[in-house]
Amino acid sequence: MLDIQFIREQSSRVKDAIRNKHAGEEDLVDQVLEADEANRSLTTRMQETQSAANQAARDIGRLMKEGLKDEANSAIEESGRLKATVKELEESQRVAQNALDELLLEIPNVPHESVPIGHSPDENVVAFEFGDLPTFSFPILPHWELTEKLGLVDFDRGSKVAGAGFPFYVGWGARLQRALINYFLDAAGTAGYTEIQAPLVVNADSARGTGQLPDKEDLMYEAVRDGLYLIPTAEIPVTNLHRDEIFSADDLPIRYSAYTPCFRREAGSYGKDVRGLNRLHQFDKVELVHFVTPKNSYDALEELRTHVENLLQELKLPYRRLLMCTGDMGFTQSKKYDLEVWSAGQERWLEVSSISNFEAFQARRMKIRYRPEDGSKAQILHTINGSGLALPRIVAALLENNQQADGSISVPDVLIPYLGADSIS
Q: Give the total number of structural domains in the chain.
A: 2
The upper half-sphere exposure of residue 169, i.e. CA atoms within 13 Å in the direction of its Cβ, equals 17
The partner residues of 167 in beta bridges, in order of sequence, read none
For the segment 283-325, what is each residue's pLDDT rounded down to a tens digit?
Answer: 999 999 999 999 999 999 999 999 999 999 999 999 999 999 9
CA-based nearest residue to 385, from 319, 288, 263: 288
Which contiguous run of DSSP H or E holds residue 142?
none
For the domain that residue 80 is a member of, what is the CATH number? 1.10.287.40
Quote the CA–CA distance of 401 and 319 in Å, as a whole number. 12
> Out of 351, 371, 408, 410, which one is annotated catalytic?
351
Does 255 participate in catalysis according to the annotation?
A: no
Q: Say what the pLDDT of residue 65 is.
A: 77
User: Per the residue annotation, which of 354, 365, 369, 400 is the catalytic one?
Assistant: 354
In a domain, 185, yes or no: yes
400: CATH: 3.30.930.10
Active site residue 120: no
Choice among 208, 255, 279, 321 that is catalytic:
279
Note whether 47 and 156 are same-domain residues. Answer: no
pLDDT in tens, 135-151: 999 999 999 999 999 99
Q: pLDDT (tens digit, 9 = 90+) per residue, 34-79? A: 999 999 999 999 999 999 988 888 888 788 877 787 777 787 888 8
Q: Is the pLDDT of residue 269 over 70?
A: no
Q: Name residue 125's amino acid.
A: V
Considering the candidates 206, 208, 255, 264, report the single residue annotated as catalytic.
264
354 is catalytic: yes
Instruction: Reply yes or no on whether 81 is catalytic.
Output: no
Domain of 414? 121-424
**Model pLDDT, residue 57:** 83
* Average pLDDT value for residue range 213-236: 93
46 C-beta neighbours (distance < 10 Å), count: 20
In a shared domain, residues 144 and 73: no
Longest dimension (CA), the chain: 109
396 is a domain residue: yes
Judge whether 178 counts as a catalytic residue: no
Per-residue pLDDT tens over the stretch 13-34: 999 999 999 998 999 999 999 9
